[in-house]
């Protein structure tokens, strides 16, 4: 699955310096192009699902297609900010 691509939605958070909440969808896509085309067809579908996942407490901000490898790093907490 690390060679696949996944749709994620980042959420607006009150304290972005503490990190950003996100919702990752389970369905893998074989290429970034297919993932992006799917997302572009109905972005509101993904924003709505993320909004409901957080029970309306957080608002969706942006949606992206990321690699399975990057998604794994995010979930393992191995992402280093480039802001430093």
- The C-alpha angle with vertex 9 and arms to 58 and 25, in degrees rounded to 5, equals 115
Fill in the DSSP letter of residue 55.
T
pLDDT one-digit tens code per residue, 7-35 = 999 999 877 776 788 999 999 999 999 99
* CA gap 7, 27 in Å, rounded: 8
**Which tens digit of pLDDT belongs to each residue from 39-74?**
999 999 999 999 999 999 999 999 999 999 999 998
pLDDT (0 to 100) of residue 77: 82
pTM of the model: 0.86
Q: Which two tokens stand for residue 11?
A: 């959420």
Between CA 23 and CA 69 the distance in angstroms is 16
């Amino acid at each position: 699955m690390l060679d696949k691509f996944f749709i994620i939605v980042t959420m607006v958070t009150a304290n972005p310096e503490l990190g950003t909440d996100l919702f990752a969808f389970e369905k893998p896509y074989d290429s970034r192009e297919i993932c992006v085309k799917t997302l572009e067809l109905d972005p509101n579908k993904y924003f709505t699902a993320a909004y409901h996942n957080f029970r309306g407490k957080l608002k969706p901000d942006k949606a992206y297609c990321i690699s399975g490898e990057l998604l794994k790093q995010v979930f393992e907490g191995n992402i280093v900010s480039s802001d430093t």
